[in-house]
Chain A
């Protein structure tokens, strides 16, 4: 199958905040406007728009994609919203990629937005409908349960000390201190701060969790012949992958994300990567909880099972380490406006690979990066590999 090369040529993002005064539409416009400006393009150059936003229940708006469409610049254009839960932010650029790779469009705008603060009193309750209405919801579940139980299974299966998982939170929040849009960046946070934070649902403590946030991110994708005219530093999408596991989450191995492995293998095959641990220079795994970053690094084949925490202990994951993990600061540090958080990782790789990440810049002129997100009922993996 002949597919065209696709590059990221522009990116923009809003601050990630606990509550934004702007509506979702306004945030979408701000990020899109910035992405267009960064590549010196206008809306006339955009042929189609891909939008990512997570459950309608956050906004209380049915057909949230259509609601946001004017802010995303979709009017009188081919437009589609994609949604795979938390995996959306890395899936929407895949949707944009196949729009361009297929030859259907030359230039596509990809926008991801989330406004979680509208839901009262706390966005967590909007997630309750992910549990089965007949066999689980009568038990009055709490969203934290599912993550706490997965974390416990993961820790116990491999005997990983809680201290080593908390290192993830420390590194990401420290990295975020250099991100101008970050909500929870903290250059001085310590392991003790994380380990002494309030226990919410053991083993999950407050600082193990990313914050509820509002925000938007946008990128522009272009076919090769256009990309080379727009910029002399295009960042190519080298591989994409996505995969879904069973929704019967109590009927599967919770210690290992098989669906992330399958998504990663699809992307590695496409990118011609045989030795991911040598060939991926920067990795932005999805980190809504600290243990999830480790879980995902193992699914991505970037660490042996039960050993991803060694990357943090040995300094490999640090910004100046051999394989920096979440140099952006990740969801734990920058914030977690669901769909926007995933696309933030793509934008980070774009800036890092162009050498434009400022104080966050990974040294050594990184050649290739990987971004991954995860979602639905803890069952979907989405992966994008980018290189220059």
Chain B
């Protein structure tokens, strides 16, 4: 069938067609404001962040510790009743050196998002956060890192109460 057809529908436009107003278009902005309640598990997670603690949840049946905490275990669908404080250290599971912002503007010094496996949680269980106080060239998967917190009186119960994670200087033994 494709070989039988030589002409396909669809008319390409370029950015120039908009700029030069070769076509009619309607520009509009949608306004959308939200206020999200945190729920039970994430509410406690945020309250703990305010105290400088990363909170996880343990499933007593599956013996898994997940982070961030939640009220139901995805594996056995039983309630997760025990929320447990974890360490504020971890291991870099993966990372990126990102040279564009969310709206595709170029930046010179890369942002370094990472998945950090939190110490005390089950293997491969981590959170997304940023890395800081590190040369982009030196970041490695498997690197041990520690949270850098906002001063206690500036914390507001948000993920941004952790400014970023920085490498732990390993002392050679």
Q: B45 to chain A: which residues have CB within 8 Å?
A: 135
Check if B99 sits within 8 Å of A254, measured CB to CB. Answer: no
CA distance A17 to B171 in the complex (A): 56
CA distance A215 to B12 in the complex (A): 10
The smallest beta-carbon distance between A219 and chain B, in angstroms, is 11
CA distance A145 to B70 in the complex (A): 24
Check if A358 sits within 8 Å of B2, measured CB to CB. Answer: yes
Check if B114 sits within 8 Å of A20, measured CB to CB. Answer: no
Q: B66 to chain A: which residues have CB within 8 Å?
A: 248, 251
The reply to whether the CB of B103 lies closer than 8 angstroms to some CB of chain A is: yes
Q: A253 to chain B: which residues have CB within 8 Å?
A: 124
Among candidates B13, B100, B126, residue contacting A251 with C-beta atoms closer than 8 Å:
B126
A14 nearest CB neighbor, chain B only: B10
Question: Residue among B17, B97, B101 with the most chain A CB within 10 A?
Answer: B97
23 A-B pairs whose Cβ atoms sit less than 8 Å apart in the complex: A15-B12, A17-B10, A19-B13, A22-B9, A27-B10, A34-B9, A124-B102, A134-B46, A134-B159, A136-B128, A141-B113, A142-B100, A145-B96, A153-B94, A180-B2, A180-B5, A181-B10, A201-B96, A202-B97, A250-B93, A250-B126, A251-B126, A357-B3
Contact A149-B100, Cβ < 8 Å, known A60-B28, A135-B45: no
We find that the number of chain A residues with CB closer than 8 angstroms to chain B is 67
Interface positions of A from 176 to 190, Cβ below 8 Å from B: 180-181
Q: A152 to chain B: which residues have CB within 8 Å?
A: 94-96, 141
Among candidates B4, B97, B104, B160, residue contacting A121 with C-beta atoms closer than 8 Å:
B104
Q: A143 to chain B: which residues have CB within 8 Å?
A: 102
Interface positions of A from 121 to 172, Cβ below 8 Å from B: 121-122, 124-125, 128, 133-136, 138-145, 148-150, 152-153, 156
Check if A128 sits within 8 Å of B98, measured CB to CB. Answer: no
Q: B152 to chain A: which residues have CB within 8 Å?
A: none
Q: B67 to chain A: which residues have CB within 8 Å?
A: 251
Interface positions of A from 343 to 388, Cβ below 8 Å from B: 351, 354, 356-360
The smallest beta-carbon distance between A14 and chain B, in angstroms, is 4
B36 nearest CB neighbor, chain A only: A133
CA distance A124 to B6 in the complex (A): 33
Q: A150 to chain B: which residues have CB within 8 Å?
A: 94
We find that the number of chain B residues with CB closer than 8 angstroms to chain A is 58
CA distance A133 to B74 in the complex (A): 20
Beyond the given A19-B15, A140-B101, A144-B98, could you list 10 further A-B residue pairs with CB under 8 A, ordered by the A residue number? A22-B9, A22-B11, A124-B103, A125-B102, A133-B36, A152-B141, A156-B94, A248-B68, A250-B93, A358-B2
B22 nearest CB neighbor, chain A only: A21
Check if B159 sits within 8 Å of A138, measured CB to CB. Answer: yes
Tally A-B pairs: CB < 8 A. 177
Q: A316 to chain B: which residues have CB within 8 Å?
A: none
Check if A22 sits within 8 Å of B128, measured CB to CB. Answer: no
Check if B2 sits within 8 Å of A251, measured CB to CB. Answer: no
B126 nearest CB neighbor, chain A only: A250
Q: B126 to chain A: which residues have CB within 8 Å?
A: 250-251
The reply to whether the CB of B8 lies closer than 8 angstroms to some CB of chain A is: yes
The reply to whether the CB of B23 lies closer than 8 angstroms to some CB of chain A is: yes
A181 nearest CB neighbor, chain B only: B8
Among candidates A31, A202, A252, residue contacting B124 with C-beta atoms closer than 8 Å:
A252
Check if A203 sits within 8 Å of B102, measured CB to CB. Answer: no
The reply to whether the CB of A5 lies closer than 8 angstroms to some CB of chain B is: no
The smallest beta-carbon distance between B54 and chain A, in angstroms, is 11
CA distance A102 to B21 in the complex (A): 51
Check if B9 sits within 8 Å of A144, measured CB to CB. Answer: no
Q: A313 to chain B: which residues have CB within 8 Å?
A: none
Among candidates A20, A120, A351, A356, residue contacting B12 with C-beta atoms closer than 8 Å:
A20
The reply to whether the CB of B30 lies closer than 8 angstroms to some CB of chain A is: yes
Q: A30 to chain B: which residues have CB within 8 Å?
A: 9-10
Check if B8 sits within 8 Å of A180, measured CB to CB. Answer: yes
The reply to whether the CB of A197 lies closer than 8 angstroms to some CB of chain B is: no
Check if B128 sits within 8 Å of A201, measured CB to CB. Answer: no
Check if A15 sits within 8 Å of B8, measured CB to CB. Answer: yes
Check if A200 sits within 8 Å of B36, measured CB to CB. Answer: no
Check if B13 sits within 8 Å of A134, measured CB to CB. Answer: no
The smallest beta-carbon distance between A358 and chain B, in angstroms, is 3
The reply to whether the CB of A246 lies closer than 8 angstroms to some CB of chain B is: yes
Check if B94 sits within 8 Å of A138, measured CB to CB. Answer: no
Among candidates B5, B95, B101, B115, residue contacting A142 with C-beta atoms closer than 8 Å:
B101
Among candidates B2, B28, B104, residue contacting A122 with C-beta atoms closer than 8 Å:
B104
**Mask: chain B, 140-173; 1 = CB below 8 Å from A; 0 = not:** 0100000000000000001110000000000000
CA distance A30 to B68 in the complex (A): 47
CA distance A307 to B68 in the complex (A): 33
Check if B159 sits within 8 Å of A142, measured CB to CB. Answer: no
